[in-house]
Structure 1
Amino acid sequence: MSFVQLSEAFAPFEDLAQDLLPHVVMTNDGAHDAAHLIRVYKLAKSLQALEGGCLRVLTAAVLLHDCVAVEKNSPERSRASRLAADKAREILTRLGWDEADLDAVDHAIHAHSYSANIPPQTLEAKILQDADRLDALGFVGIARCFYTAGRMGSSLYDAADPVAKERDLDDASFALDHFTTKLLKLTDGFKTKAGKDMAELRHARMQAFIEYFVEEI
C-alpha cells in the first residue's frame, strides 16, 4: 500500500498524513505497523468526537507516536516515547508548525507510553494514551499479545503452572503471564470517560478469553 493510499485512512487530514507517513518507520513488527496506526487513529477520532480536543494535533501525534522503533526487550524501551517526541518535533518544525502545537504533539507522544510513566496533562495527550492502550485490550490486544510473544521467542504459557499458582509471573517467558502483569491492569489507568467505557468492555472480553483458554488447557 502506498503512502497516498494509506493516508486516506486519516481523513480529514489526508494531506498531513501524506507529509508524515514517509517519516514513520515501518518495521516488521505486526503489533506496531500501519494497521496499528489506523486503529489508534480511529479510536482517537472517536474519543475526540466525545471528549473534544484538537483533532489536527491528535492526528499528528497518532501518526508519529511510534516513529522511533525500539524493541520491547531493549534497555532503551522506556525512552522510546521521548525519542519519538523529539523526532516528531523536528519533523513538524520543518513543516512550519507553531510552538504551541509543537508542544502539544511533543507532550502527547511522550506521555502515551506505558513504559515512560509520564502523566498526560492535556486532553490530546489523554486521548492518545487512551487510544493506544485500547488497542492493547480486547480481541485485538489478545492477538497482539500472542503475536509479540512469538516474535520475542516466548512460550504460550508455563506447562507446569499455567496461572502461576506456585511461581513468580514471568511475561518475558510466557505470553499468558503478560495479561496479569500488564494488560489487565490497563483499564484502571484510563484518563477519559469515553476511553474508560470502551476499556471496560474490552477488558471483559479479555477476561472471558483467559477463562476459556485456561479451561481448555
Structure 2
Amino acid sequence: MKPLTDKQSQNLEIVEKEVMQLFKSDTSGHSYDHIKRVVDLTARLVVEGADLYTTMMIAYLHDILDEKLDFGYDNLEDVYLEFGLEMDETFKDIEHGVLSIGYKGGYTVMEKSLEAQIVSDADMLDAMGAIGIGRAFYYAGSKGQPFHDSGLEGIVSDDIESYRNRKRNVIAHFDEKLLKLKGLIVTPKAKIIAVGRHEFLRKFYEQYMDELSGDK
C-alpha cells in the first residue's frame, strides 16, 4: 500500500482539527467521538488495493454533508475552500466516497468505491453493539422521539421521508436499521467484528421486548 506523502499527512492533520471543531458540540450521536471511532476503525479495516489517503479523508469527512446535521456546506468544494485544502487529483474520489456513505433507511444506496466501502463498514460498525445502542437512544432523545409509547408500537418507517421524520419508538430503529447492518458489511475484517456486535444487538432487543411485555 502506498504510504502517505508529507502533504497528505499535513492535509489529514488539518481536516482532523477542523472536523473536531465542527462536531464537538453535536448532541445527536454524531459527535467528533463518533468520527474518531470511525477513523480508527477505518485504519484497522484498510485492505490492499485501497488508497490510504483517500480512505482516511473519506473517514474524517463522511458526515460533513449529512443533511441531518446541516453544517451549511452545499458540496465538498465548499468544505475544501473553508479548510484551505487544495482540490488535487484525489478530490473527485473523496467527494464520491463522502456522498456514497450513509444508510438513509436503506432506500437510497449509492455504488461505493473500495475506499468508501471500507469507511461505510466502519461507520456501520459504530452503529452496532453497545455503542450503537447508546447512540440510537441518544439520537432519538435529541429528536424528541419517545423511549416507548404504547400507542406507537409496531410503527416503523417504510420510505426515506418517514425514516427521517415519522414519530416512532426508538426500538423501531433496530428493525429499520441496526439489525440489518450485519448483512450489509462487505470487507473481511469488518465482517468478523460485526458478528459479535450483531449478537449483542440481538440479545438486547430480545431482552428489551421481554421486559416491555413483563415476561422478565
TM interval, short-chain normalised: 0.7 to 0.9
Which residue of structure 2 lines up, in the alignment, with residue 201 of structure 1? Answer: 196
Q: Is the 8 A contact 1:23 1:67 kept in 2?
A: no
Q: Write the distance in 1 (CA, Å) between the matches of 2:81 and 2:176.
A: 35
Q: Please give the alpha-carbon distance, in whole angstroms, between the structure 2 residues aligned to 1:85 and 1:52.
A: 24
- Runs (4 or more) in structure 1 with deviation over 4 Å come to 88-92
Secondary structure of the residue aligned to 1:175 is coil
State the shift of 1:38 in Å: 0.9
Unaligned runs of 5+ in 2: 1-7, 158-165
- Quote the residue 2:42 is aligned against: 44
Which of residues 54, 58, 61 in structure 2 aligns to 1:61?
58
- The Cα of 1:84 is off from its aligned counterpart by 5.3
d(CA) in 1 for partners of 2:81, 2:124: 25
CA gap of 1:85–1:95, structure 2 versus 1, over 3 A, is closer
Q: In structure 2, which of residues 112, 135, 141 is the aligned counterpart of residue 150 of structure 1? A: 141
Among all aligned residue pairs of Structure 1 and Structure 2, give the percentage whose two residues are the same amino acid. Answer: 28
Contact between 2:152 and 2:168, CA under 8 Å: does it hold in 1? no
Distance 1:124 1:97, change over 3 A: same
Q: Does 1:110 align with 2:99?
A: yes
Q: Deviations over 1:130-176 (max 9, x none)?
A: 111111111111000000111111111233575x2xxx325732101
| Whole-Å separation in 1 of the counterparts to 2:96 and 2:80 | 10
State the distance in 2 between where 1:117 and 1:172 align. 23
Alignment-derived partner of residue 4 in structure 1: none
Of 13-22 and 201-210, deviating more is 13-22
Q: Which runs of 5+ in 1 are unaligned?
A: 1-12
Cα separation, 2, equivalents of 1:144 and 1:206: 12
Cα deviation code 1:165-212 (max 9, x no counterpart): xxx325732101110011111222222122222222211110011111
The aligned length equals 190
Task: After superposition, give the CA deviation of every residue in 1:48-94 in whole Å (9 maximum; x if it has no partner).
Answer: 1x55522221221111122245327xxxx8xx9x94544445568x5
Alignment map for 1:89-168 (pairs within 5 Å) = 90=81, 94-99=84-89, 101-115=90-104, 116-120=108-112, 122-159=113-150, 162=153, 164=154, 168=155
TM-score normalised by length of structure 1:
0.75
1:16-35 equivalence runs, <5 A: 16-24=11-19, 25-26=22-23, 27-35=25-33
Conserved? CA contact 2:117–2:186, under 8 Å? yes
Three-state SS of the structure 2 residue aligned to 1:46 is helix
Is the 2:28–2:142 contact (alpha carbons within 8 Å) kept by the matching residues of 1?
Answer: no
RMSD: 2.8
Higher relative contact order (CA 8 A, sep 6+): 2
In 2 relative to 1, CA 131–51 (structure 1 residues): closer, same or farther, beyond 3 Å? farther
Q: Equivalents in 2 of 1:179, 1:62: separation in Å?
A: 24
